[in-house]
Amino acid sequence: MNNKSEMSLVGHLNELRKRLTVMVIVNLIVAALLFNRAAVIMQYLLDLNPGMQLVYISPSELLLVYIQISFIMALVLCSPLNIYEVWAFVEKGLYKREKAAVLTALVFGLVCFIGGAVFCYFMVLPTILQFFVRIEIADVASMISVKSYASFANTMLLAFGCVFEMPVLVFLLTKLEILTPEFLKKNQALLIVVIFIFAAIITPPDVVSQIMLGLPMVLLLQLSILISVLVDKKNRKKHEQEAAQ
């Protein structure tokens, strides 16, 4: 029995290794193919620039920026494959009810991530950059490096994409009966404090970026509580029906 369990564990580890290998290789290939298109994506980021004077201060800086953009583009474009590989690995160990919840979370998680990044690109980044321009000192010329500008924009886009996953995560945890709406309501004040601490950690060190991320997170928390309430009611109703049978 122990040998069978050990072989089963080894088999799972081998499968995990194979799936991770596929994900890494495909993402690397796609990133290499997209390298020549990185300048196009960089131009979209530059279009948000409200008049900042950008420079590069080392010969390799533009190359590193293009590599960074290529990998981010590859992760986005390969996300359906990545989601499939994750799903194919975890679904074998799930019950039927859990499979439906996890698959739903993976699909809508991708949609929410894209929605968060789009919201950041069109609403948040232009506002933040305009604010930074307005607080410049007249006698001091701004010399912002391309690397720092691209890193700031990419960090904000990824941060908002991840933050918009909150309702999906709450849906999944409530569906699996790991999380309850009562817990969220009881600890709402503490969660808001944690949200702003989290926003301070993952955003650049300025108050404006932290507030621009923290406020949508608070709104998403309210939406997540509502989702948790609805899912919990559905869980309770299902349990009542099963008990009556």
**Per-residue confidence (pLDDT) for residue 132, from 0 to 100:** 80
What does the angle CA 148 – CA 40 – CA 26 come to, to the nearest 5 degrees? 90
Q: Of how many residues is the chain composed?
A: 245
**Of 53, 100, 46, which Cα lies nearest the Cα of 69?**
46
Tokens 């948040």 belong to residue: 124
Whether the CB-CB separation of 184 and 227 falls below 8 Å is answered with no
For residues 222 and 130, the model is more confident at: 222
Whether the CB-CB separation of 13 and 51 falls below 8 Å is answered with no
* Model confidence band, residue 164 (pLDDT cutoffs 50, 70, 90): very high
Whether the CB-CB separation of 224 and 172 falls below 8 Å is answered with no
Q: If you compute the radius of gyration of the chain from its CA atoms, what whole number of angstroms results? A: 22
Whether the CB-CB separation of 109 and 166 falls below 8 Å is answered with no
| Rounded average pLDDT over 133-150 | 80
Task: Tell me the pTM.
Answer: 0.82
Residue 4 has pLDDT above 60, yes or no: no
List, in sequence order, every residue forming a beta bridge with 54; answer none if it has no partner. Answer: 144
For residues 91 and 141, the model is more confident at: 91
Residues near 144 by beta carbon (within 8 Å), at least 6 away in sequence: 52, 53, 54, 55
* Model confidence band, residue 184 (pLDDT cutoffs 50, 70, 90): very high
DSSP 49: -
**Per-residue confidence (pLDDT) for residue 201, from 0 to 100:** 83
DSSP 1: -
Residue 196 has pLDDT above 70, yes or no: yes
Beta carbons within 10 angstroms of residue 221's beta carbon? 19
> Which amino acid is located at 68 in the chain?
Q
Question: Percentage of the chain surpassing pLDDT 70?
Answer: 93
**Per-residue confidence (pLDDT) for residue 95, from 0 to 100:** 79
**Per-residue confidence (pLDDT) for residue 25, from 0 to 100:** 97
Question: Phi and psi at residue 203, in whole multiples of 5°?
Answer: -100, 165
Helix then strand then coil, % of the chain, to nearest 5: 85, 0, 15
Residue 165 has pLDDT above 60, yes or no: yes
> Which amino acid is located at 148 in the chain?
S
Distance CA 60, CA 147 (A): 10
Distance CA 204, CA 213 (A): 11
**Of 209, 183, 179, 178, which Cα lies nearest the Cα of 196?**
209
Distance CA 122, CA 129 (A): 12
* Model confidence band, residue 88 (pLDDT cutoffs 50, 70, 90): confident
* Model confidence band, residue 129 (pLDDT cutoffs 50, 70, 90): confident
pLDDT, one tens digit per residue, over 10-43 is 777 888 899 999 999 999 999 999 999 999 999 9
Distance CA 110, CA 120 (A): 16
